[in-house]
Amino acid sequence: MKAAKDLRQFHNIIDGKLVPASAGETMDSIDPATGKPWSTIPLSTTNDVDSVVKAASKAFPAWSALPARSRADYLRQIGDALSEHGEELLTLETRNNGWTLDPYQYLNIVLKQIWYDAAGAAPIVGAQGKTVQMGTGNFGYTRREPYGVVLGILPWNAGLFSFTIKAAYALAAGNTVIIKPSEHAASASLRYGEILSEILPPGVVNVISGLGSEIGDVLVGHKQVNKVSMTGSKQTAEMITRASAPVPKSLIFELGGKSPNIIFEDADINQAVNGVINGIFTRNAGQICAAGSRILVHRPIFDRVIGKIKEHMTDPENVKYGDTLDTTNTMGPIANLPQYRKVCSYLQIGKEEGAELIFGGRTGGEVLLPDDPHYSDGYWVEPTLFKTDNNKLQICQEEVFGPIAVAIPFDDEEEAVRIANDTDYGLASGVWTQDLKRAQRMTEKIEAGNVWVNTYAMVGPDLPFGGFKESGYGTDTVLEYTREKACVINFN
Ligand code: NAD
């Protein structure tokens, strides 16, 4: 194991400066592909919370007073800077969360697009107000104003993406920002903050790393934090709601899911099978909020569809593990030890509940082919498919957040809708059919923030990405980062 002095050290970014946690404490970051530490991150305390909120509050008046087009210029510069720094950031993120590099080429494009989109949105905010006739000589109008200090709380699975989508639109609207990355994946966000602080005025974006259980409540409950946007689990959303109660503030929650991917007998079967596989058994090992973790299949084609999925996923040519920076590897590890243990426990739960194991189920070094001692302590889980008729099982109701899916047969459209909606979550869904009328009916009947027909996880800045039910509320768009003020002037 590396001694602490050999590990790369990352620091908080507060008021434009790189600073260690005030108590000098750090925590090791573990590479999930090897199970070994590779860097250290600050373990901040409430003293650091005070400093970071002070910095963001101090920067707010000047930043919000800038003409929107000047703020947009800064945001464009950040987008441009990703050409130089994108690859480095994506490499850090891969060491944080184990996602193999390929999707990050895409993410690089996505991140840039968000900064440019937010730059375009900045001047539009000022044009969003309305005017109202209030009777003779009275003129009413509304203004869109920033909240002040916005706190972005990030998950470990897609830190750079969550950082970008929160910071870019909050800044465009004139807010200043504090980012609290996950303690399991903070390095990339800390370096991202450093890059941003070389472009932005001091204090406009700050990054503070520490345990959610230690500094989360204090940040959320702080009087000078005016809005919180959190991406993470519904359990943490509950804690944040409680912590924000004494000083009520506006909240955005982007939470988990148990999303159905529904294949009807009239679907293009090969297209559907590809879509289902890409919906969960991908390079991020199913660690994505929109994972299509329940595969609902029309009974007449059930065996055929499941057979094709099994054939693809059990071919060693299609599923390769190892160095996450090697793009020929196609399946990443689970991102951290607690999550690895959780995913492994669901393999056991599925078996104990009586679900039939169709393929997969192995974990750790036994997954590697050929065995490689460098990666044998990594948090590997083989893509796994269970089958059941009972959507009430724990593996059908609870978010696993790993490469474990469950296949459920259905007899008709009505039953498909009933099973699809029989969940506390409502984030995403996929429907595979060539019948346009059925497609339209399904988009109406499914209780989820996203319904994708004959495609999956098709997202973009021009469409909202939010949840229904216990998958959260609000979305990271520029208007969400403004509040509306009603003004009336009496000219009489
Ligand atoms: P998590 O809820 O464990 O942690 C999220 C963040 O909250 C971390 O930064 C953590 O430090 C912080 N936190 C913990 N306790 C806190 C407290 N008391 N107060 C304030 N902050 C606190 O989630 P995770 O395990 O990092 O991420 C996985 C979850 O995120 C999954 O449920 C997944 O579905 C969800 N997710 C949702 C989306 C989406 O857009 N809907 C995207 C990605 C991930």
| Bridge partners (DSSP) listed for residue 227 | 150, 250
Q: Residue 185: inside a domain, yes or no?
A: yes
Instruction: Using the mean position of ligand 1's atoms as its centre, give its distance from the Cα of residue 107 in Å.
Output: 20
Cβ of 286 closer than 6 Å to ligand 1, yes or no, is: no
Rounded Cα–Cα distance for residues 250 and 410 (Å): 41
Q: Which of 314, 402, 387, 307 is nearest to 353 (CA)?
A: 387
Q: Which domain holds residue 403?
A: 260-461
Instruction: Compare 384 and 90 and report the one with higher pLDDT.
Output: 384
* Token pair recorded at residue 367: 């997954």
Cβ of 217 closer than 6 Å to ligand 1, yes or no, is: yes
Shortest-distance Cα residue to atom 22 of ligand 1: 212
Instruction: Using the mean position of ligand 1's atoms as its centre, give its distance from the Cα of residue 353 in Å.
Output: 28
**Radius of gyration of the chain, Cα coordinates, nearest whole angstrom:** 23
Q: Residue 453: inside a domain, yes or no?
A: yes
Q: Residue 308: inside a domain, yes or no?
A: yes
Mean pLDDT, range 50-79, rounded to an integer:
98
Q: Say whether both 372 and 329 belong to one domain.
A: yes
Q: Residue 467: inside a domain, yes or no?
A: no
Rounded Cα–Cα distance for residues 204 and 256 (Å): 29
Q: Residue 9: inside a domain, yes or no?
A: yes
Q: What is the pLDDT of residue 1?
A: 44
- 121-177 residue pLDDT tens: 999 888 888 999 898 999 999 999 999 999 999 999 999 999 999 999 999 999 999
Q: Which of 272, 117, 111 is nearest to 196 (CA)?
A: 111
Domain count, the chain: 2
The CA dihedral of 145, 151, 157, 163, to the nearest 10 degrees, is 50
Write phi, then psi, for 475 (nearest 5 degrees): -140, 155
Rounded Cα–Cα distance for residues 323 and 265 (Å): 39
Q: What share of the chain is helix, strand, coil (3-state, %, to 5)?
A: 40, 20, 40
Cβ of 289 closer than 6 Å to ligand 1, yes or no, is: yes
Task: Give the confidence band of 239 by pLDDT, cuts at 50, 70, 90.
Answer: very high
Ligand 1 pocket, mutate which of 107, 165, 182 (most atoms under 8 A from CB): 182
Q: Which of 246, 263, 308 is nearest to 434 (CA)?
A: 263
Write the DSSP assignment of 114-178 as a string of letters: HHHHHHHHHHHHTT---EEE-STTEEEEEEEEE-SEEEEE--SSSHHHHHHHHHHHHHHTT-EEE
Q: Say whether both 164 and 96 belong to one domain.
A: yes
Q: Say whether both 483 and 412 belong to one domain.
A: no
Rounded Cα–Cα distance for residues 423 and 426 (Å): 7
The catalytically annotated residue of 93, 183, 254, 382 is: 254
- 290-333 residue pLDDT tens: 999 999 999 999 999 999 999 999 999 999 999 998 888 999 99
Q: Say whether both 339 and 479 belong to one domain.
A: no
- Looking at the CA of residue 158, tell me the nearest atom of ligand 1: 43
Task: Give the confidence band of 87 by pLDDT, cuts at 50, 70, 90.
Answer: confident
User: Is 88 in the active site?
Assistant: no
Q: Which of 467, 414, 429, 389 is nearest to 259 (CA)?
A: 429
Q: Residue 492: inside a domain, yes or no?
A: no
Shortest-distance Cα residue to atom 23 of ligand 1: 232
Q: Say whether both 193 and 288 belong to one domain.
A: no
- The enclosing domain of 70 has a CATH number of 3.40.605.10
Q: Say whether both 453 and 334 belong to one domain.
A: yes
| Bridge partners (DSSP) listed for residue 357 | 386
Instruction: Give the N- to C-terminal CA distance of the chain in Å, as an integer.
Output: 78
Token pair 């296949």 is found at 407
Rounded Cα–Cα distance for residues 207 and 172 (Å): 18
Q: Say whether both 357 and 211 belong to one domain.
A: no
Q: Say whether both 375 and 433 belong to one domain.
A: yes
Q: Residue 466: inside a domain, yes or no?
A: no
Cβ of 97 closer than 6 Å to ligand 1, yes or no, is: no
Cβ of 116 closer than 6 Å to ligand 1, yes or no, is: no
Q: Say whether both 250 and 163 belong to one domain.
A: yes
- 403-432 residue pLDDT tens: 999 999 999 999 999 999 999 999 999 999
Q: Say whether both 150 and 176 belong to one domain.
A: yes
Token pair 């899911």 is found at 257
User: 3-state class of 5 per DSSP?
Assistant: helix
- Looking at the CA of residue 291, tell me the nearest atom of ligand 1: 34
Mean pLDDT, range 219-246, rounded to an integer:
97
- The enclosing domain of 408 has a CATH number of 3.40.309.10
The pLDDT of residue 110 is above 90? no
Do residues 190 and 183 lie in contact, with contact meaning Cβ atoms separated by under 8 Å? Answer: no
Instruction: Using the mean position of ligand 1's atoms as its centre, give its distance from the Cα of residue 155 in Å.
Output: 4
Q: Say whether both 242 and 282 belong to one domain.
A: no
The pLDDT of residue 4 is above 90? no
Shortest-distance Cα residue to atom 28 of ligand 1: 232
If one counts every other C-beta atom within 10 angstroms of the C-beta of residue 351, the result is 14
Q: What pTM, to 2 d.p., does this model score?
A: 0.96
Q: Say whether both 427 and 479 belong to one domain.
A: no
Length, in residues, of the chain: 492
Q: Residue 142: inside a domain, yes or no?
A: yes
Q: What is the pLDDT of residue 250?
A: 96
H or E, element range at 409: strand 404-410
Cβ of 207 closer than 6 Å to ligand 1, yes or no, is: no
The pLDDT of residue 61 is above 50? yes
